[in-house]
């Protein structure tokens, strides 16, 4: 008898969740959308270099983020791992190449192969005014300033509270 009552309660909760909703049933339904998570996020700015900085040499990055200036040096002589830059949360990433392995025309695997160089830098936070200079072996490659255009996103969905983050990407053309 007890198992029959449990089955009836489960079916009732399922029915109400799918078609009528019930605060006592902790099931989201298709009408309400997916269940909320507690995923966190950070504001960020990504600067991508086009083409990536792949020539061997000593690169100097000079950044000014909302009036706070700092810089760092990165040696490119092979594949670099994600590297921290300066005393703020800036990470430098190398380029990669997509590789697809096929047998008899069927894809069996896909991977990203790291290549030497600097492809992008990512900064946590949302600076409004950005200055960027890049030099290789003392020769200036890039000097620019810009105001990023941030887009707001909700990693848990817009109906799941006020956890929102701002992200922007800017591509810098390298001569």
Confidence of residue 31 (pLDDT cuts 50, 70, 90): low
Map out the domains of the chain as residue ranges. Answer: 1-35, 44-173
Average pLDDT over residues 99-128: 76
pLDDT, tens digit (0-9, with 9 covering 90-100), for 117-175: 888 888 888 999 999 999 999 999 999 999 999 999 888 777 777 778 999 999 999 98
Across the chain, the runs of DSSP E, i.e. the strands, are 44-53, 57-65, 68-76, 83-84, 90-93, 96-103, 106-114, 118-124, 130-136, 139-146, 151-153, 165-173
Pick 84 or 157 by higher pLDDT.
Answer: 157
CA 48 vs CA 29, 91, 121, 126, 156: distances in Å: 40, 12, 7, 16, 27
């Amino acid at each position: 008898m007890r198992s029959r009552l449990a089955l009836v309660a489960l079916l009732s909760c399922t029915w109400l969740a799918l078609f009528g909703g019930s605060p006592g049933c902790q099931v989201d339904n298709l009408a309400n959308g997916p269940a909320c998570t507690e995923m966190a996020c950070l504001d960020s700015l990504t600067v991508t270099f086009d083409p990536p900085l792949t020539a061997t040499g000593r690169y100097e990055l000079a950044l000014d983020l909302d009036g706070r200036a700092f810089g760092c040096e990165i040696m490119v002589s092979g594949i670099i791992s994600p590297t921290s830059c300066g005393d703020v949360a800036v990470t430098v990433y190398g380029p990669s190449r997509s590789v697809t392995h096929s047998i008899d025309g069927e894809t069996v695997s896909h991977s990203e192969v790291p290549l030497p160089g600097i492809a992008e830098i990512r900064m946590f936070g949302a600076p409004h005014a950005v200055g960027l200079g890049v030099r290789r072996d003392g020769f200036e490659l890039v000097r620019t300033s810009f105001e990023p255009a941030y887009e707001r996103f909700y990693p848990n969905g817009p109906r799941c509270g006020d956890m929102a983050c701002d992200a922007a990407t800017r591509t810098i053309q390298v001569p």
